[in-house]
Amino acid sequence: MSKRILAYRRLDEQQLEQLRSRYHVDYFGKLSSADDPAFREALAEAHGLIGAGVNITPVLLDAAPKLEAIASISVGVDNYPVDELTRRGILLCNTPDVLTETTADTGFSLIMASARRVVELADFVKRGDWKASIGPEQFGSDVHGKTLGMVGFGRIGQAIARRGALGFGMQVLYSNASPKPEIERELGARRCEFDELLRESDFVCAIVPLTDETRRLIGAREFERMKESAIFINLSRGQVVDEPAMIDALKRGQIRAAGLDVFEKEPLPADSPLPQMANVVALPHIGSATHETRTAMAQRAVDNILLALDGKAPISPVNPEVRNETAT
């Protein structure tokens, strides 16, 4: 009996063909809800899942008794109960590396847009309000030569820091569980205590995975420790920040501005004050969203699921201990 793959994120024709040439594929290119009865029916027969954006709960896993492997089209795996998957012997794979540079580009565009008030002033022009030379009330702040504090210093954090240090002459501070001596040498970056980073940085950039340790890592206490001129950037997950505390800090001028790609609830609820705030640049979670990178991520996931269902080592397993393989 041929195995079945359930795909629930858009894949291009060539990628679908690659899957279909090996296995039966149930394809939901635009899944609106994991409660969709057709999705549930396919889940009951699936040996492999490929997709993103669905919270895979133990209840969903109970409805998927044949499941052997999941290939997420994302680097973040906060949508998956990793320990539970391991316990059930289900292999989980993700898509690191292929999105690093694109996501770092997004991070740097948030730094630039927030500091130079790009969105706010472009709207000013669009509204027809540009009637005379702008004055100090519309000036922004410099990016070059400032201090960039990276909360988290994995692949994407390092790629943002590289842009800052080599492109903009920024000093880089980072807080991270483990030291990164190689990139310290490359960029002149310095690892420091979290509180020192908050105190010293002109830009505080969060790029940590969402875990029990990082949930609400940045709240009222942390915003109080930042400079009044600080700009906060969040490129990780909305839950890493206490959102009401951040809104309060922005409203009270405790920090100058924020550039945000992620939010506690996504899409942003209609009653969120964030999009209306002049000192906030809010993006719809576009970290890796370019044609090139989303295609590369989907391809990585296709390769991962085919290798996993063939009983071979996938390129980027998250819980390789399921197969006693070595992590990448």
The catalytic residue positions are 237, 266, 285
Scanning 69-77, 141-149, 160-168, 185-193 for contacts with ligand DGY by CB under 6 A, the matching segment is: 69-77
Region at 56 (left for phi over 0; alpha for psi -120 to 50; beta for the rest)? beta
Identify the residue among 75, 98, 183, 309 touching ligand DGY (CB under 6 A). 75
Is residue 263 within 8 Å of 271, Cβ to Cβ? no
# residues near ligand DGY by CB under 6 A: 6
Q: Which helix (H) or strand (E) holds 205?
A: strand 203-206
Strands of the sheet with 24-27, listed across from one edge: 24-27, 4-7, 48-51, 69-72, 91-93
Is 288 a binder of ligand DGY (CB under 6 A)?
yes
CB nearer ligand DGY, residue 114 or residue 288? 288
What DSSP string runs through 79-106?
TS-HHHHHHTT-EEE---STTHHHHHHH
Region at 324 (left for phi over 0; alpha for psi -120 to 50; beta for the rest)? left
What amino acid is encoded at 92 in this protein?
Answer: L
CB nearer ligand DGY, residue 76 or residue 149? 76
CB of 289 to ligand DGY, least distance (A): 8
Using CA atoms, how far apart are residues 51 and 77, in angstroms rounded to an integer?
12
CB nearer ligand DGY, residue 76 or residue 164? 76
For residue 78, CA distances in Å to 102, 156, 170 come to 20, 17, 31
Q: Which residue is nearest to ligand DGY (CB)?
A: 76
Which of helix, strand or coil describes residue 204? Answer: strand
CB of 75 to ligand DGY, least distance (A): 4
Identify the residue among 51, 164, 287, 317 touching ligand DGY (CB under 6 A). 287
CB of 74 to ligand DGY, least distance (A): 3
Scanning 68-76, 129-137, 163-171, 186-194 for contacts with ligand DGY by CB under 6 A, the matching segment is: 68-76
Q: Which helix (H) or strand (E) holds 293?
A: helix 291-309
Identify the residue among 25, 48, 71, 76 touching ligand DGY (CB under 6 A). 76
Is 159 a binder of ligand DGY (CB under 6 A)?
no
Q: At what angle do helices 155-162 and 100-115 cross, to 10 degrees?
A: 50
Is 314 a binder of ligand DGY (CB under 6 A)?
no
Is 214 a binder of ligand DGY (CB under 6 A)?
no
CB of 191 to ligand DGY, least distance (A): 24
Binding site for ligand DGY (CB under 6 A): 74-76, 99, 287-288
